Amino acid sequence: MAQTRKDPPPVEKKEEAKVLEPPQEPPAPPVDDLSRWNRAIAQNPQDSEAYYRRGLIFASRGEYPQAMADFSKALEINPQHVQAYFQRGLGSIKMERYTQAIHDLQRVVERDPKNGPAYHYRGFAHMQLFNYEQAIRDFSRAIEFDPKEPDAYLNRGQAYGHLGLYSMGIKDFEKIMEIDPQNAQAYLSRGTAYGRTGNFHQAITDFTRAIELNPQNPRAYHHRGFAYLEVGNPQQAVIDFEKSIALDSKFFSAYLHRGNAYIKCGKPAQALPDYERAIQLDAGDPRGYLGRAEARQALGKEDEAMEDYRMAAQLGNKQAQDYLTQKEIQW
């Protein structure tokens, strides 16, 4: 049987953790009568403020293409309309057009160098493009202008983590705890950072606190389950993964790691359906096939296991490739 793999601690990824949310937006504008601004535009097609105000209404409704068109028209008429650049930048973030968002938010800070939210949103856009160092600079500027804004510390801490600077990230998460002791995300993020440094017992403590503050977050249970696996308690890990799955039935990583926990509990028959569900959720991730291969081997299904090892190897999994090479099996 292939040696059981050792997955890295959970890292904050969009498909698994989803902690990197855009910073809090300003309150939605009052629900103006849309027809009012339609009439204003009809009466004066060069009224940039009317386009801007109508764009705000569309944005508050989540109708971002219409909002973006209006903000662009406002800027065509008045290229100095700072708030139109700002709102178009936010719309670009909502539409995942991060390069365009950075461009518009750059226009904002050029005209308003003390606009903390613009730096914050620009930092978030840089995060999505993996420009972590630039993101850190922008979050730091945002903190200068609003040192009590927890989201700026949260996102900067995440950026530090992506660069492997976990101690710096932990400091940011602890700053959030000073500002808001009930912030569950701060404990979840600090626990993740502790896990990345191998401090799984401290990670469990933080994940437990995150669960106490927000018992409906499937990722807190998932991360604690992973930490329990790392400290040699697969039975407790199974319980946490079950809770995670109950809260999010499409959580790929929870099925994958519950399968791993069952394997460590000596229950390959129970692990098998978890790996199959993981494969259903993401057929392009080799870890599901690798796990199913190990479960099938443990159940004496050698031929089926080899098929899974080949699939995992073809998808780029080095452990599967090395195993098949050692067995002199083509993949």
pLDDT tens profile 197-254: 999 999 999 999 999 999 999 999 999 999 999 999 999 999 999 999 999 999 999 9
Tell me how many domains the chain contains: 2
In 3D space, the residue among 291, 286, 318, 316 whose CA is nearest the CA of residue 305 turns out to be: 291
Quote the pLDDT of residue 17.
Answer: 38
Per residue in 285-311, pLDDT (tens digit) is: 999 999 999 999 999 999 999 999 999
In a domain, 76, yes or no: yes
In a domain, 17, yes or no: no
Model confidence at 11: pLDDT above 60: no
In a domain, 62, yes or no: yes
Confidence label for 42 from pLDDT (cuts 50, 70 and 90): very high
In 3D space, the residue among 323, 326, 305, 221 whose CA is nearest the CA of residue 263 turns out to be: 305
Quote the pLDDT of residue 211.
Answer: 98
How much of the chain exceeds pLDDT 90, in percent? 89
Angle at CA of residue 113, ends 107 and 117, nearest 5°? 80
Per residue in 46-66, pLDDT (tens digit) is: 999 999 999 999 999 999 999
Residues with Cβ within 8 Å of residue 31, at least 6 apart in sequence: 57, 60
Domain of residue 63 covers 41-113
Last residue of a domain, one of 94, 113, 132: 113
Last residue of a domain, one of 90, 113, 136: 113
In a domain, 250, yes or no: no
**Contact predicate 278/285, CB 8 Å:** yes
Q: What is the mean pLDDT of the chain?
A: 92
In a domain, 295, yes or no: yes
The residue written with tokens 């599901």 in the block is 288
In a domain, 297, yes or no: yes
In a domain, 188, yes or no: no
Burial (CB count within 10 angstroms: exposed 0-12, middle 13-18, buried 19+), residue 30? exposed
Last residue of a domain, one of 59, 83, 113: 113
Query: For the whole model, what pTM was predicted?
Result: 0.86
Output the domain CATH number for residue 63: 1.25.40.10
Two structure tokens written together for 32 = 């103006």
In a domain, 98, yes or no: yes
For residue 198, give Cα distances in angstroms to 163, 220, 226. 16, 17, 12
Quote the pLDDT of residue 133.
Answer: 98
Count, in order, helices (H) and strands (E) of the chain: 18, 0
Q: Compute φ and ψ for 310, nearest 5 degrees.
A: -60, -45
How far apart (Å, rounded) are the C-alpha atoms in residues 177 and 150?
9
